[in-house]
Amino acid sequence: MTYTLLHHTGCSTSRKGLALLEENGIQPEIRKYMNAGEALSFDELKDIAKKMGASSPRDFLRAKDAEKFDVPDTLSDEELYAAMADNPRLIQRPIGIKGDKAALGRPIEKLLDIV
């Protein structure tokens, strides 16, 4: 089963997460979700939340960027998924996905929880 890493090359934590996976013999399929051609859809974000066991997209919202882009706290979950799909900077990273499981790599060692 393929391990997919939602990765942003400009993020040091994301790079460290990738290095950790590789050190443990895992060669993930890399999805550079910040690139327009690899962006995550509304439905994909909902599916990732389900795989994480997240109760809300706020569980993997990048809070400092939400503040930077004036994302109001009053958004519904559906509105927040839409905002994250429109602006991938709002998505915390890295996120590992394998089968029906996903893990937010904060700390990066959590990426190994779904191996």
Asked if 81 and 51 touch (Cβ cutoff 8 Å), the reply is no
Report d(CA 27, CA 29) in Å as an integer. 7
Instruction: Give the list of residues 6+ apart from residue 38 with CB closer than 8 angstroms, or none.
Output: 31, 32
Q: Which residues are tagged catalytic?
A: 11
First to last CA, the chain: 10
